């Protein structure tokens, strides 16, 4: 996975990653896992844009469902 580190004002350093199979045009989702028990998601084309925070357990269930073809 490719990784990018970003510092947000008053936030710890976040290490964002995306699949090595990502679209060359940057059309993909990046993920960061801070120590807060959450997973953060953002659009790789708009790194300074909104970030969606999800509980780590909920994200794991969603990712497993996608991998099974259930979503």
Question: What's the predicted TM-score (pTM) here?
Answer: 0.71
Each residue of 6-19: pLDDT tens digit? 444 445 688 999 87
Structure tokens at 51: 């970030």
Q: Look at residues 58, 53, 27, 55 and name the one whose alpha carbon lies nearest to residue 40.
A: 53
Domains: count for the chain: 1
The string over 14-33, giving b where at least 16 C-beta atoms fall within 10 Å of a residue's C-beta and e elsewhere, is: bebebeeeeeeeeeeebbbe
**Span 37-63, pLDDT tens digits:** 899 999 988 888 999 999 999 999 988
Neighbours of 62 (CB within 10 A): 14
């Amino acid at each position: 996975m490719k990784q990018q580190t970003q510092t947000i004002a008053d936030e710890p350093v976040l290490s964002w990653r995306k699949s090595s199979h990502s679209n060359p045009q940057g059309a993909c989702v990046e993920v960061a896992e801070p120590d807060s028990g959450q997973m953060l998601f953002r659009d790789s084309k708009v790194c300074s844009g909104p970030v969606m925070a999800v509980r780590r357990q909920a994200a794991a269930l969603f990712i497993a469902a996608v991998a099974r073809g259930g979503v």
